[in-house]
């Protein structure tokens, strides 16, 4: 019997030519600092992370499932991941669930997020006008908790439209995500000369946040104005009220899920509004109708936008309305997908960096699938679960 573990899987399209080259992924993962000592180390960190990622792309939602998926990886896949070979068993070495847990719980999760976000950003196509539009929002991992038995919250930034998460930080237990805007945006990967628009919900409508985003970073902010800023809400309301007597500046309708949503947008300059770097205010009314045209609900949103460059303000109602609607994508394309596809809220990882590292793997997996042109995340994970080699084609096209 031959002890050689060389060879190819000639019948699988993932091994045709250079299409299965995953060196870019492995190189990215190799930039994560190895914190384990050399003594007793059996598996390389890049291998553990790469194998765990493909297991997550195959639907694994916890450490045990990751180890089980890796156990089923065919030899050609293990070879591409540069797995170690055991000459005694005449087989590739495969990590146990305990090993996966210890490695993910012990890595520098912030660095992992940073290198993964930069790698995904480099593979995202730029917007036609050179703008990077990102939504920022926090998510509580309901099944996880910190070492101090506090709730575990992650704060992330996602590219509008694409639904790709490119930055993420953990929110310290003693504070909340409002204080972490600087920490998150400081890690945001950017390209030279890129204009950045940041959208957020009403909790982040704070003067310090607006000052930091506009003056310190030179970004454009778009904020929802609600009752947590009563003076600002009153000013925006009074200035927008006359606009509502006229026809909207822009109207768009969407039909789906048994209803019709109509968004009407009014926009004006923020003359007299005392808020840092304010340039534009607006009102967006969402009317919801059933399929026979009966109005079932109406909701008004008051918006303020600004930056330190008056020439770069949000100048059209269509642009403002589109950015506000796309902000909701961080719930639908990130938080919802992580909960329904990978059961994130049921995952009780709680040791060290484990919860954040697992969330990062889910972000990379969803980002890779979306960058390959599909929003069917759940179905894609099921397809990869039937044949893990299929993950290589998705990774390899993003070099």
Tens digits of residue pLDDT in 229-255: 999 999 999 999 999 999 999 999 988
Q: Which two tokens stand for residue 325?
A: 């609607």
Q: Per-residue confidence at 56, pLDDT binned at 50, 70, 90?
A: very high
pLDDT band at 310 (very low <50, low <70, confident <90, very high): low
97-106, 124-133, 206-215, 276-285: which has the minimum mean pLDDT?
A: 124-133
Angle ∠(205,206,207) on CA atoms, nearest 5: 130
Kindly tell me if the per-residue pLDDT of 14 is higher than 90.
no
Packed helices 354-371 and 377-386: angle between N→C axes, nearest 10 degrees: 100
Residue 20 has pLDDT above 50, yes or no: yes
Closest CA to 52 of 36, 35, 70: 70
**Of 354, 384, 356, 359, nearest in space to 369 by CA:** 384
Q: Is the pLDDT of residue 5 over 60?
A: no
Domain ranges of the chain: 13-109+352-396, 129-334
| Helices marked H in the chain | 23-30, 45-57, 63-71, 75-80, 97-106, 109-123, 181-185, 207-211, 230-240, 317-327, 329, 336-342, 354-371, 377-386, 390-396
CA angle 69, 75, 78 (to 5 degrees): 65
Give the per-residue pLDDT at 371. Answer: 93
Taking residues 318-329, what's their average pLDDT? 91
* Banded pLDDT at 256 (limits 50, 70, 90): confident
264 near 248, Cβ under 8 Å?
yes
What is the CATH architecture of 129-334? Alpha-Beta Complex (3.90)
pLDDT computed for residue 194 by the predictor: 85
Q: What pTM does this model have?
A: 0.89
Mean pLDDT for the stretch of residues 368-385? 94
Distance CA 15, CA 33 (A): 30
Phi (first) and psi of residue 160, to 5 degrees? -55, 150
| Rounded Cα gap, residues 223 and 137, in angstroms | 12
């Amino acid at each position: 019997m031959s002890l050689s573990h060389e060879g190819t899987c000639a019948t699988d399209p993932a091994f045709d030519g250079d299409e299965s080259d995953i060196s870019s992924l492995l190189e990215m993962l190799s930039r994560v600092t190895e914190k384990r000592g050399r003594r007793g180390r059996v598996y390389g960190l890049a291998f553990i992370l790469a194998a765990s990622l493909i297991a997550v792309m195959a639907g694994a939602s916890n450490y045990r499932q990751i180890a089980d998926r890796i156990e089923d990886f065919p030899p050609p896949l293990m070879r591409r991941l540069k797995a170690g070979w055991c000459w005694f068993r005449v087989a590739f070495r495969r990590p146990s669930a305990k090993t996966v847990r210890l490695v993910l719980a012990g890595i520098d999760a912030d660095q992992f997020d940073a290198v993964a976000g930069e790698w995904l950003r480099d593979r995202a196509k730029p917007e036609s006008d050179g703008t990077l539009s990102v939504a920022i929002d926090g998510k509580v991992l309901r099944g996880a908790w910190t070492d101090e038995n506090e709730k575990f919250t992650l704060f992330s930034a996602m590219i509008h439209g694409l639904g790709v998460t490119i930055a993420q930080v953990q929110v310290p237990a003693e504070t909340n995500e409002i204080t972490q805007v600087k920490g998150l945006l400081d890690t945001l990967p950017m390209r030279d000369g890129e204009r950045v628009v940041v959208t957020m919900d009403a909790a982040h409508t704070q003067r310090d946040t607006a000052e930091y985003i506009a003056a310190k970073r030179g970004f454009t902010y778009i904020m929802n104005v609600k009752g947590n800023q009563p003076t600002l809400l009153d000013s925006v309301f009074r200035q927008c009220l006359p606009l509502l007597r006229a026809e909207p500046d822009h109207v768009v309708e969407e039909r789906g899920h048994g209803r019709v949503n109509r968004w009407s947008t009014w926009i004006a300059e923020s003359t007299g509004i005392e808020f840092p770097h304010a340039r534009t205010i607006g009102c967006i009314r969402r009317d919801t109708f059933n399929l026979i045209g009966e109005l079932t609900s109406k909701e008004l949103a008051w918006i303020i936008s600004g930056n330190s460059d008056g020439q770069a303000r949000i100048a059209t109602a269509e642009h403002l309305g589109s950015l506000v609607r796309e902000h909701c994508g961080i719930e639908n394309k990130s938080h919802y997908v992580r909960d329904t596809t990978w059961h994130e809220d049921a995952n009780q990882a709680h040791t060290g960096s484990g919860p954040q590292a697992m969330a990062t793997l889910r972000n990379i997996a969803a980002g890779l699938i979306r960058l390959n042109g599909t929003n069917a995340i759940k179905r894609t994970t099921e397809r990869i679960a039937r044949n893990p080699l299929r993950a290589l084609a998705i990774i390899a096209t993003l070099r």
